[in-house]
Amino acid sequence: MVSDYSLTMNRTRASSRQRRKPSRTSGHDRQASLISAATSLFSANGFTGTTAKQIAKAAGVTEALLFKYFPTKHVQYTAILAEKTQYSELREAVEVATNEQDDERLFTLLASDRLRKGADLTMICLPIFSALEGHELPNMFFQQQYRVFHDLLAGYI
């Protein structure tokens, strides 16, 4: 004869074997999530108006984990710029237009990159907030976002 206790224990053991631990987010995915959360908050509230606590909450992590990946907001801002400044294809096309002295193509490429439908508006908001807040981040933004094209155009003209 089987007792009620035995039946309950067997079901409990079976269900606990079926339960699996939730998969952990990879470090790369977590870092991307932190960058995304910070980008949204920095572009909405500015650098000074965004706290580490807000970033951690938006990313669904603790502040301690945020600081493990990004010890300061400045480091996080730098990571945002590094992620958002992938211009290799544009740079190649601009260099070709420059070498061919195709003025129309050159200026169309540069303008369309910033004005295209679906352009990342955060990359317009970030430097504006930074400049209004009066810290060194606009210069960093210029160096990483525009310097290459500024120098190229200056030499071209």
Helix ranges (H only) for the chain are 4-18, 27-45, 52-59, 63-69, 73-84, 88-99, 103-115, 122-133, 137-145, 147-156
With bands split at pLDDT 50, 70 and 90, how would you rate the model's confidence at 15? low
CATH class for the region spanning 4-84? mainly alpha
- Kindly report the average pLDDT of the chain as a whole number: 78
**For a pLDDT cut of 90, what percent of the chain falls above it?**
22
With b meaning 16 or more CB within 10 Å and e meaning fewer, what string describes 32-44?
Answer: ebbbebbbbbbbe
Per-residue pLDDT of 118-156, as tens digits, reads 667 777 777 777 778 777 777 777 777 677 778 888 888
How far is the C-alpha of 144 from the C-alpha of 81, rounded, in Å?
7
At residue 152, the pLDDT reads 80
Per-domain residue ranges of the chain? 4-84, 88-156
Per-residue pLDDT of 88-110, as tens digits, reads 777 888 889 988 999 999 888 88
The reply to whether the predicted model has a pTM over 0.75 is no
93 class by beta-carbon count within 10 Å (0-12 exposed, 13-18 middle, 19+ buried): middle
